[in-house]
Structure 1
Amino acid sequence: MSNKRIGGDFNSLFDDNNMEESEGLRTLRLSEIEPNKGQPRKVFDKEAMEQLAESIRVNGVLQPLLVRPLSTGNYQIVAGERRWRAAKIAGLAEVPVVVRDDLSDEQVMQVALIENLQRENLNPIEEAQGYKELIEKYNMTQDQLSKALGKARSSIANSLGLLTLPVGVRDLLADGKLSAGHCKALKMIKDPALMTEIAVRAADGELSVRSIEAIAKREAKSEEEQTMIKPRMAYYTEVEMSLTEALGTKVKICEGKKTNTLQIAFEDKDQLEGILRLMAVK
């Protein structure tokens, strides 16, 4: 696979002046244009599409679509599927396009992904998946994405982190029932089941971001305390069992707030002396 990337040349593909001066600028019938099956955006908001269609009815398609020729004689959309769909809704028969026959399949996918990430209101999960695909499939780094999209590298890193959330939480975020702030707080909760439970409550409006943060802090503190206590209790139990077997009587370690005590049970003087001998105490 070619390592050639759109990278810094991406913005030039969509520069209005370049498009107007391009030899590839022409008008095509909507029936001659096909959407890209690899389009990263799977859902198009109906209300937003109606608004764009109304704008197109009044003003026309202000920015040409970017397309490439197919062997069938039709043209495939590289960037601008929303405009194409909205033009159909608006009842247009044709739209302005810029034809590029020098784009490889890899570049087409890169442009489609980057154009969506830069220009469309993808939900947070679609956005994160777009970053992930560009990184994994096209070997782009977070720094390269940052430059191509004009976004801070930390923003891209935080977005990618959303993909580590449990599926149920990701679905709520994708549906717009949770905010990025909710998810940032939820990531503080280590238990996936608890995280999902809290996410559902937050989506229902029961918990604010601050409430989730408070729950996460309580859980973290409780987990830390348990981590400190469990190894010590296990050690004490092991010592009790060893001494009980060695001394032939019940031995118990009692924990106090400041000091701990070791209790050794005995029935009479003879048993006590036997215990002392075993302990090498004269």
Structure 2
Amino acid sequence: MGEKRKVVQINIDSIHPNPAQPRRTFNEQELLELSRSIRTNGLIQPISVRRVKGGYELIAGERRLRACKIAGLSTVACMISDCSPETSAVLAMTENLQRQDLQIFEEAEGIRRLIEQWDVTQEEAALRLGKSQSTLANKLRLLKLSEEEREKITACGLTERHARALLRIKEEKTREKVLGQIIAKHLNVQQTDDLVDKLLEENQKPKSKRTFVIKDVRVFLNTINHAIETMKQSGINAQTLKSETDDYIECLVRIPKAQATGGKKPA
């Protein structure tokens, strides 16, 4: 029991990464600065580990562990816990969430891995992580973006709200085009929402355009009707027969041959 509460020095090479660690990218400059501080002042806050077969598994303190390796330390101060793999995963996620600088897609991937590892529903995962189910669902939806889109969003420092606005566009090629505009024009969230709104409105215009075309056809049909009436007023017994199918509107005009040729038979 005493070992669980005191700080012990552990060989740095015997500490294995946490498979549930959500963070995948680390700022190299920040790691270098932290390693210099550790080299000068020592590690102020020990990292947390748990015993596993063949050594120890990191629970919390990935940045500190990496900085210690850069600083050239052979051992590192650790607090040992006998927590389960499930608890270790939650602690790893919680530590990163509390830091506030976890990238949006790293967080979403971390949540997805936890759900798969625990074999639970979104509602159960939300309860364990202290989040609402809707918040969790919104974060998981971000993973519908392609890997290339995620990389661009991350590289350009766009926010989760930018990403969620893009998700309203279902067609991937159109989404990529809009993302390019957002990046090139440095659009903020409101401008991005406006751009997506405008695009979605334009995509609904073909219906009204089709109505306009149909109205034009009716104008032509009215012109034919007017021509028939004019012929009748001139004493020509002209007739028009109309029919409509799923594919066509058919209009047949019949004029007595005798009246059309002035009573003369064609040569």
Q: Do both share a fold (TM > 0.5)?
A: yes
What TM-score comes out, normalization by structure 2 length? 0.69
Q: Secondary structure at the residue paired with 2:206? A: helix
* Alignment match, 1:272: 238
* Alignment match, 1:210: 190
* Alignment match, 1:254: 219
RMSD value, Cα: 3.8
TM-superposition CA deviations, 1:5-39 (whole Å, max 9, x none): xxxxxxxxxxxxxx999346422122332323554
- Rate the CA distance shift 1:147–1:274 in 2: closer, same or farther, 3 A: closer
What TM-score comes out, normalization by structure 1 length? 0.66
- Rate the CA distance shift 1:205–1:188 in 2: closer, same or farther, 3 A: same
CA positional deviation for 1:160: 2.0
**Gaps in structure 2 of 5+ consecutive residues:** 243-250, 253-267
Runs of 4+ in 1 over 6 A off after TM superposition: none
* Alignment match, 2:139: 159
CA positional deviation for 1:149: 4.5
- Rate the CA distance shift 1:184–1:271 in 2: closer, same or farther, 3 A: farther
* Alignment match, 2:75: 94
- Rate the CA distance shift 1:261–1:190 in 2: closer, same or farther, 3 A: farther
Residue identity in the other structure for 2:189 = V
Residue identity in the other structure for 1:134 = L
- Rate the CA distance shift 1:71–1:200 in 2: closer, same or farther, 3 A: same
* Alignment match, 2:64: 83
CA distance in 1: counterparts of 2:49 and 2:142, whole angstroms: 32
1:1-282 counterparts in 2 under 5 A?
22-23=4-5, 25-37=7-19, 39-72=21-54, 74-104=55-85, 106-119=86-99, 121-142=101-122, 145-146=125-126, 148-151=128-131, 153-230=133-210, 232=211, 236=214, 252-254=217-219, 261=222, 263-264=224-225, 269=232, 272-273=238-239, 275=241
Q: Secondary structure at the residue paired with 1:253? A: helix
**Identity between Structure 1 and Structure 2 (%):** 30
- Alpha-carbon contact 2:60-2:91 (below 8 Å) kept: yes
**Gaps in structure 1 of 5+ consecutive residues:** 1-18, 241-251
CA distance in 1: counterparts of 2:224 and 2:2, whole angstroms: 92
Deviates more, 1:145-154 or 1:203-212: 145-154
- Alpha-carbon contact 2:47-2:78 (below 8 Å) kept: yes
Residue identity in the other structure for 1:272 = A
CA distance in 2: counterparts of 1:66 and 1:54, whole angstroms: 21
- Alpha-carbon contact 2:23-2:107 (below 8 Å) kept: no
TM-superposition CA deviations, 1:73-93 (whole Å, max 9, x none): x22223222211111223333
Q: Secondary structure at the residue paired with 1:95? A: strand
TM-superposition CA deviations, 1:184-207 (whole Å, max 9, x none): 333343432222112122223454
